[in-house]
Amino acid sequence: MKRRLDLSGVLEDIQPNKLPAVAVAALPLEKRVHSRFDKAFLVMIGSELYGDSSAVARNVSTGGILVEMSYAPPLGTVVTVHFQHTRADDLLDEIVVRAEVKHHHYLNFGAIGETATSTRAIGLRFLEFVDAGERVSPERLH
């Protein structure tokens, strides 16, 4: 035989400005290991097999990054992410990170009544920082 709990007094016991224990347990838990830097900016994604292309980076953290791009390299592919900034004196500041493709995302968005827009994104896990070396030549871009 199942027992029924009498919960009729739970709401009456709530003190002003305090959440009941039941409501606190229902709050979503943050599962991310690293905090995110939520800013969109251009990066160059390089791959020996797939060439180089420009992309939009979002949600940068010490563990990885989300990158919106025109194609999605296969899961497990190791790519280089080139964070580049050109200064006023035509010098290029660059940080290069090797990363592994861990996730594929297909994003669809749009307002009600409008045609939906979609884009691809990949979740990358950072592996190591590498020497910036040479700039990406225009012939390798696609």
**Three-class SS string for 111-137?**
CCCCCCEEEEEEEEEEEEEECCCCCCC
Stretch 88-114: mean pLDDT, rounded?
85
CATH 3.40.605.10 fits 37-132, yes or no: no
Stretch 128-138: mean pLDDT, rounded?
66
With 70 as the cut, is the pLDDT of residue 114 above it? yes
Domains of the chain: which residue ranges?
Answer: 37-132
Task: Report which secondary-structure segment, H or E, holds 89.
Answer: none
Number of Cβ within 10 Å of residue 101's Cβ equals: 20
The pTM of this model reads: 0.64
Q: Which one has a higher pLDDT value, 134 or 57?
A: 57
CB 80 within 8 A of CB 94: no
Dihedral sign, CA of 84, 86, 90, 91?
A: negative
